[in-house]
Structure 1
Amino acid sequence: MENRDLELGDMENMIQERAYLFLRRVLEQEQKSLNEPITPPIYMVPRTLRDLSPHSFSPRMVSIGPLHRDDENVQAFERQKVTYLIKLMNHITSSTPEIIMNSCMEKVYASMEKIKACYVWTRIYNDFEIAEMMVMDACFILGFIYLIFQLNLADIFAEDVVCDLVLLENQIPFFFLEEIFKCTIAELMPNTSLVKFMYPVLSILNLFDSDVGLNILENISIDDTHHILSLLHECYKPQTGYIFRKEFSITRSHSAVDLDKAGVSFKPNRYQTWVLGMEMEFPCFLWSWCKCTLRMPIFYVSNSTELILRNLIAYEQESMQTQNYITSYAYVINMLVNTQDDVAKLVDSEVLINVMGSNENAANMINNICKEVPLVNSLYRQQWRALDRYYNRYYNRYWPKHIGWMRRTYFSSPWNIIALVVGSIIFALTIVQTIFTVGD
């Protein structure tokens, strides 16, 4: 019995010691995290999102960084990377390629540990391999942008390359791209920052027909930018002055056609200070024939829209340091679009520009964009709640519903209005004639 008590006592002491050591290790790690800034990683796309649309997350032409370096479809472009690097070096006449390359290598080795911390490594590389990879990819990105958009060099694959540069898993750290920029492009364009240098790429990738977001580039800090995709996301952040409340997710769906029947019109929000801003405008009088208006950003739908949207949404889902700007908008546009008729209504209202080829294709893309995306605290909860109240108040009552029907039937076009007026005049003249005939 005594031996058993000793054994139990030894076990308790061992547990206490282990618990103490574990707690001390946790506290040391916490202190280390507080003392050393956390480098934002290059996130991996969740499998649930990747399985829905694999082509939206894998590079078609060029790999950037280590995560897709071994993909078969990007191997042929590796020679093009070398070509762009050499052309970039040759344009810098203020120094020799050897000196420039030495400077780039010094930059990468000085930041090696910080660079390593940015990735979830799926394969082991030594420092020399990582250094060559980082310098090659950074010089390619900068050389590509300089030669294509500054010197107007023709490249039939330019649009595909630009799309590859925005993929979540196809990134290099922006702080390192800035270092290589100083060694190269800054020698050619001394009055240009890296952020401004990226403007042509961001213009191609912009999802909305507005320059509002791109105009804030000069206020974007390198410290707040993780990579090129992160830079594009920064363009969709509101300027100071916007206050967002923690709201529940939007769950009730009204399509564009349904809302139009209820007397809601859609108009572009052309004068907003936030590119994603939405505003509700209501009629002044309760029974006014004026429509309730939802002012929205002008959404540009092209063949690359799905790719850009999915990567921005994946970035918001994985990063704990960003708000759900794009995800909130995606949920709203998904609510508004059920069929191609809804797309047609938004196109007619000039809040959607569709160059995909058909409204059905656009509707299918929009319908699928939020699948497997968790519900978020929507930034448009207040606007949607007001829209929902209007819908219930006006559409479900007798007179507003019939006024809406009359508006669609008789006042939807100038010809309908003319026909109604002419018909009313003929009807009135017929009644007058009948009265005089009876009087005689």
Structure 2
Amino acid sequence: MFVSGIYEEEKEPILKEDKLLKKLHFPPIFVIPSWLRDISPNSFTPRVVSIGPLHREHTHLKSMEKKKDKYMRKLLVERDTYNDCFKTVRNKIEAIKSCYSGMKEEIYNNDDKLVEMIVTDTCFILRFIYKLAKSGDIPSEKRIRRRSIALDLVLLENQIPFFVLQDIYDIIFKKKSTVTTPDLKTMLCGLLQQVNPFKKELNVENLSSVTSSPFHIVGLLHEFYQPGYKLSKISYIPKAHTAVKLHEVGVRFKPNQMLKWPMAMEFESSPLNPTIKMPEVVIDNHFEVVMRNLVVYEQCSPVESYVTSYVKAMNMLAATPKDIATLVESDVLTSHLGPNETASNIRNICKDVTFLDFYYMDVWEKAKKHYDSYWSRNLGVLKRKYFDTPWKAIALFVGFIGFISLVAGFTFRKP
């Protein structure tokens, strides 16, 4: 059979490792349930480029289709890998189909069309991350477009199975290339850094403890946010105190410079300076998109709910614009939105989400204990009333010295 300029060869047996996907009780790439999608449809819809079959027919994405085909042919012809890539994908087409839920029948039943689509989209991703790894300082308009494409590539409905990315990467950059290139996860790390909302950069070395292969790029991003060790969790949500309420009883917030995992929070108990240390995070128009796709991935996949737990914790701390202002002043949060919009942005991610686990119980219990303490409350009022600015502290000190001098004058005055 003639397919996309090549002749179909005899199918090879599917490799043993690819059968893993067939044993799954869920498809890792799926249409988002309406009760989650309807809250924020734009968080799941690609803006620039469609990847895979689920958004293929969107009119506003059509302009990229010809470019993707051009990129695919240029990449494969230059490296003489055209036939190898199509053959590899065709031999695994059934495993690829099992990864998707929600494909239209005309795509699902047309192997030729699906093979060409998968190869084209995979080549687009590989060429994009390869050029991203090589690029230096580029014009600002290209940086904006680059980040928009990167954001599209972490949408849950806009994915290619990871084993396909790995297979075609191996063919193009390892088997046929004479130039040494970074491994696939290292190149994808550069892509994911474009949309990483935390100020601490992603480090591919942190993935060394993760033995399983991700289902797709979203799954790889989720692996970057895993702690790499077992965290204690609890299945109920403790009573929340907002950043403002905690600040009123003397609790301060500081950036966590010694992160044990990317979303770690710690409570440092101190009679005078109790502190919650947190990862530095940037809230912008992309924050909700990235977090929401990771949360839905956790809601619908057999993975730990680290991101959902973090979003819940932030929702409790940053419930109002005043809380946002407190966290911004503490340098743990940078907002490119207005305080009202930032608070709404964080709060909406939690809407209609089921919370199964909470990984910050130790921090929350210590914060609650401090908040409920009689001395903490009164010391907090004292510090807020008399020591919240240097001038108030100086005035109190001068007044105290004046009072002592006055008492001393009365004491030592001769009768």
Aligned residue among 179, 183, 198 for 1:208: 198
More helix by share: 1
* Largest Rg, 1 or 2: 1
Write the distance in 2 (CA, Å) between the matches of 1:160 and 1:330.
23
Name the structure 2 match of 1:20.
Answer: none
Q: What amino acid sits opposite 1:164 in the alignment? A: D
Assess if the C-alpha contact under 8 Å between 1:312 and 1:326 holds in 2.
Answer: yes
Bigger drift between 371-380 and 323-332 goes to: 371-380
- The answer on 1:363 being equivalent to 2:363 is no
Name the structure 2 match of 1:192.
Answer: 182
Q: What amino acid sits opposite 2:158 in the alignment? A: N
Spell out the pairing of 1:38-49 with structure 2 (5 A cutoff): 38=24, 40-49=27-36
Aligned residue among 379, 382, 397 for 1:421: 397
Write the distance in 2 (CA, Å) between the matches of 1:167 and 1:204.
14
Bigger drift between 356-365 and 80-89 goes to: 80-89
Assess if the C-alpha contact under 8 Å between 1:142 and 1:185 holds in 2.
Answer: no
Aligned residue among 295, 309, 330 for 1:349: 330
Name the structure 2 match of 1:178.
Answer: 166
Name the structure 1 match of 2:377.
Answer: 401
- The answer on 1:113 being equivalent to 2:94 is yes
Structure 1 residues 149 and 83: alpha-carbon distance in aligned structure 2, compared to 1, 3 A threshold: farther
2:346 counterpart SS class: helix
Relative to the length of structure 1, the TM-score reads: 0.82
Name the structure 2 match of 1:159.
Answer: 147
Name the structure 2 match of 1:22.
Answer: none
Name the structure 2 match of 1:73.
Answer: 60
Q: What amino acid sits opposite 2:65 in the alignment? A: E
**How far did 1:213 drift?**
5.2
Structure 1 residues 36 and 168: alpha-carbon distance in aligned structure 2, compared to 1, 3 A threshold: closer
Q: What amino acid sits opposite 1:352 in the alignment? A: L
Write the distance in 1 (CA, Å) between the matches of 2:21 and 2:203.
34
Runs of 5+ consecutive residues of structure 1 not aligned to the other structure: 1-32
**How far did 1:66 drift?**
0.3
**Sequence identity, in percent?**
37
Assess if the C-alpha contact under 8 Å between 1:57 and 1:168 holds in 2.
Answer: yes
Name the structure 2 match of 1:292.
Answer: 274
Aligned residue among 133, 136, 142 for 2:120: 136
Write the distance in 2 (CA, Å) between the matches of 1:212 and 1:41.
23
Assess if the C-alpha contact under 8 Å between 2:126 and 2:169 holds in 1.
Answer: yes
Relative to the length of structure 2, the TM-score reads: 0.86
Q: What amino acid sits opposite 1:194 in the alignment? A: L
Q: What amino acid sits opposite 1:310 in the alignment? A: R
Name the structure 2 match of 1:234.
Answer: 223
Write the distance in 2 (CA, Å) between the matches of 1:298 and 1:410.
29
Total equivalences in the alignment: 387
2:62 counterpart SS class: helix
Q: What amino acid sits opposite 2:243 in the alignment? A: A
Runs of 5+ consecutive residues of structure 2 not aligned to the other structure: 1-18
Aligned residue among 212, 226, 243 for 1:256: 243
1:303 counterpart SS class: coil
2:100 counterpart SS class: coil
Q: What amino acid sits opposite 2:44 in the alignment? A: F
Assess if the C-alpha contact under 8 Å between 1:248 and 1:381 holds in 2.
Answer: no
Write the distance in 1 (CA, Å) between the matches of 2:178 and 2:49.
25
Structure 1 residues 366 and 63: alpha-carbon distance in aligned structure 2, compared to 1, 3 A threshold: same
Q: What amino acid sits opposite 2:294 in the alignment? A: L
1:142 counterpart SS class: helix
Q: CA RMSD in A?
A: 2.3
Write the distance in 2 (CA, Å) between the matches of 1:35 and 1:318.
16
- The answer on 1:390 being equivalent to 2:374 is no
Write the distance in 2 (CA, Å) between the matches of 1:212 and 1:439.
74
